[in-house]
Structure 1
Amino acid sequence: MVSNPLNSPLSSYNEDLDKRLAQLGAAVIETEASAVAALRTRINGNFAAACKYMLACTARIVVLGMGKSGHIGGKIAATLASTGTPAFFVHPGEASHGDLGMITEKDVVLALSNSGETEEICTILPLIKRLGVPLIALTGQPQSTLGKAADVHIDISVEKEACPLGLAPTASSTATLAMGDALAIALLEARGFTAEDFARSHPGGRLGRRLLLRISDIMHRGEAIPAVTEDVLLSNALLEMTRKGLGMTAVVDVQNQVVGIFTDGDLRRALDRGIDVHATPIAAIMTTHCKTLGPELLAAEALQMMQRHRINALLVVDHEQHLIGALNMHDLLRAGVL
């Protein structure tokens, strides 16, 4: 049984131990950073050829990998899929027991193996070649079984692992992940993949909501819009504000065109001036030339406008300034835009 010096009664807290642990951690980071930096010279014709195969693929990129390479492969497949290149991960061990049927002749296979001799992958190589699908290999051994069988080989070899025993995949798995990211982002750029495309594949995330959600999706409509005509008294406007609960009311003319807005802030200022709420017409104290916006704009743009002008509510109008909606900061918060 290997003893743990951190749990030993003789290893109570001391500065030497802290320093040693920090040195060990720094050494790992330095080793892995060097391994990734060395990949720069491997972005060559083989890298471009791999990208071309994947760009020409009319189906999916099928990623294979065992062990730690399998974990990295799952992440690479997910990154490809979320950046415009349809992809999924297949476990090589399961592939030889039926899952190989998931690979079609229109796919491209991306196989990961540091040694290039992973038994489970080598077992299914003849079947992959029989399908005639392009095979791209990421290995640390170009002359390995997998490296020689591949249509394109990308070298992800490392000088040494960060593990002091030289056994645990550390620098090699980091290098593989970095090369997978390089492939995914190169394809993203080549496809002209946009931020809005990214948002469509992440509709549940905050980025998706910020890039896809429009004002028309969250604004209050119809009877839920607080609105009064410009001839009513302030007391009537306050009742409307209370009923609708948005902290403001629109003020409109007989054609339902916006002529102003009255907010909680306007009310506080009016009370400071001693305004008689039962005798003062709303038109006398409303804010004219108020900020409005159209329903087709992004909800994130409404947030930017509120922050820029330090306001908490906005009126939504059509092209002729007719009132069609309203929203406040709480609506943006509930929608996850804020």
Structure 2
Amino acid sequence: MPHAIPPTTSLMRESALRTLQIEQEAIGHLQAKLDEHFDRACELILACKGRVVVTGMGKSGHIAGKLAATLASTGTPAFFVHPGEASHGDLGMITRSDVVIALSNSGETSEVTALLPLLKRLGVPLISMTGRAHSTLARHADAHLDSGVDREACPLDLAPTSSTTAALALGDALAVALLEARGFTAEDFALSHPGGTLGKRLLLCVKDVMHDGERLPSIPLGSPLRDALLEITRKGLGFTCVTDPQGRLAGVYTDGDLRRTLDHHYDLRDVLVDDVMTRPGKRIAPSMLAAEAVRLMEESKITALAVVDDEQRPIGALHMHDLLVSGVI
């Protein structure tokens, strides 16, 4: 038996480009298939008092799992149930107040169609996503989403490729339509992604990352400049707060102020911090979002901020490095 000749790099690239072209066409054809059934599917899900249960077998099951995850993270409570396991007990996870989305390219997958009598008995609304509008699953659904493709990208027209891509895109279209209908915001998204970068940007407050207590650099008005330099060195934040007799923030003295002081050739032994500090100094409230602090620092071209209470008394200090470490930037 002769050995197969390995394809050249150019042939493999041509194959990849052909695959992308076929799958791009498959997604493009979906636009003409969005009809009243899509509207009905959205209405069923928006009216759902329980959760959206997504199911599918094989490659469709993988797409179903991703759809469930996308719905859950964008304001539509959802989870995936394996159809094979559903027939052996997991169907108890589905209640009368739920909506089921079932994926099957053929619409005839036995593990999925086996659930139809049980779903009908419960009276659970069913949304199908198949490539065949006249399949068993499509005919018994309350709303059918047509994800059919003309051909698979696989040259044998066997391996699910274009069909799974189309189902994935159609699922995303459904999730985004529901997201917008619910008025879902970036803040809502962050609440379900507290560990992600967006969650940190939207949920982390200045008080969560600021230096306070003994770590707060601060000296009173009338202090010699050398005291300010010592405080900056001890606390390592590149600045110190300067407070008035009532404990309120009168200004700040920073590394940048030190350079300007040296430029004026002052005798540092005789200079008071009052004469060379920045007044009134940039400040921020502890309840403000850390992301807002980043914006203020970037606009002002500074790397640190004083954190003050309602009486304008310094209670903390925030450095750009703290925001970097916390994942806000």
TM over 0.5: yes
1:303-324: CA deviations, max 9, x gaps?
Answer: 1111122111011223442222
1:273, distance to aligned residue in structure 2 (A): 4.0
Are 2:241 and 1:231 aligned? no
Whole-Å Cα distance in 1 between the matches of residues 30 and 224 of structure 2? 73
Gapped runs of 5+ residues in structure 2? none
1:33-84: CA deviations, max 9, x gaps?
Answer: 1111111112211000000000011111000011110111111000000000
Corresponding residue number in structure 2 for 1:14: none
TM (normalized to structure 2)? 0.96
Counterpart of 1:146, as a letter, is L
Q: Which of residues 162, 169, 178 in structure 1 aligns to 2:160?
A: 169
TM (normalized to structure 1)? 0.93
Whole-Å Cα distance in 2 between the matches of residues 58 and 3 of structure 1? 60
Q: Which of residues 15, 18, 43 in structure 2 aligns to 1:52?
A: 43
Classify 1:64/1:4 alpha carbon distance in 2 versus 1 (closer, same or farther; 3 Å): farther
Question: How many residues of Structure 1 are paired with residues of Structure 2 in the alignment?
Answer: 329
Corresponding residue number in structure 1 for 2:202: 211
Partner SS state of residue 242, structure 1:
helix
Corresponding residue number in structure 2 for 1:265: 256
1:129, distance to aligned residue in structure 2 (A): 1.3
Counterpart of 2:160, as a letter, is P
1:201, distance to aligned residue in structure 2 (A): 0.5
Counterpart of 2:38, as a letter, is F
Counterpart of 1:335, as a letter, is S
1:134, distance to aligned residue in structure 2 (A): 0.3
Partner SS state of residue 93, structure 1:
helix
Q: Which of residues 64, 69, 76 in structure 1 aligns to 2:60?
A: 69
Are 2:91 and 1:100 aligned? yes
Whole-Å Cα distance in 1 between the matches of residues 159 and 2 of structure 2? 17
Are 2:209 and 1:192 aligned? no
Corresponding residue number in structure 1 for 2:323: 332
Partner SS state of residue 114, structure 2:
helix
1:234, distance to aligned residue in structure 2 (A): 1.1
Are 2:326 and 1:322 aligned? no
Corresponding residue number in structure 1 for 2:211: 220
Q: Give the fraction of aligned pairs with identical amino acids, expressed as a percent.
A: 57
1:223-257: CA deviations, max 9, x gaps?
Answer: 32111111111111122222222111011101121
Counterpart of 2:145, as a letter, is I
1:125, distance to aligned residue in structure 2 (A): 1.5
Counterpart of 2:98, as a letter, is D
Corresponding residue number in structure 2 for 1:132: 123
Whole-Å Cα distance in 2 between the matches of residues 285 and 155 of structure 1? 72
Gapped runs of 5+ residues in structure 1? 12-16
1:2, distance to aligned residue in structure 2 (A): 9.8
